[in-house]
Structure 1
């Protein structure tokens, strides 16, 4: 009995509009993040790398300890490094995503302002005002 009540409450919670909207937003945001990451790494960063001497930012690192290789050439112990190029790449991704979201919200707020600026239709008069208007019109007709 307790278990079904718990599941019923969870179903009510999960199916509320704002929870579903949030889930859709997270899914679309994840896909958008992948698109922006590709934009940054595949389109924006190669020309920037060319401008700074053909550097691929994701390859930038400070090697703290070199890899240890076996006589056969296999890695026995991997290298230890600070991969600051990957950090720079992720930072560029974030900045472009943040800027894109800023532009999108600015566009939405522009549309909201246009809706607010549109003159609202005059409100219908209250029932007592309508009744008084009818009485006035009837009295005018009798004269």
Structure 2
């Protein structure tokens, strides 16, 4: 079995965790790093995202806070609650980069925003890969 558990560097772990909890209505599993690391999970306990404070533990990609966070990265989430999450993004006063539209690749509706650290998120209606994906 292989699972992907993305870890992103953030300026304020608690603020970012609270923001993601509000956006996705997800859980915090209070990671092994205290206020330096947080694990966000869905109701089944699957990891959605890990938040790691910059310049902790000597991780080579998290040492230089002057780089642009997320350059070349899209945090892509598939959900059966697209409208609810879009509404939460608005309540969080999050700038909508691209509002809900149909993706020419997946054929599914999606929208895009940036989080507190300017990571780019695309939230898509849930779909299985291989069915209409170009």
Fold match, TM over 0.5? Answer: no
- Identify the structure with bigger relative contact order (alpha carbons < 8 Å, sequence gap 6+): 2
In terms of Rg, which structure is larger?
Answer: 1
TM-score, normalised with respect to structure 2 = 0.22
Structure with more of its chain in strand, by fraction: 2
TM-score, normalised with respect to structure 1 = 0.21
Structure with more of its chain in helix, by fraction: 1
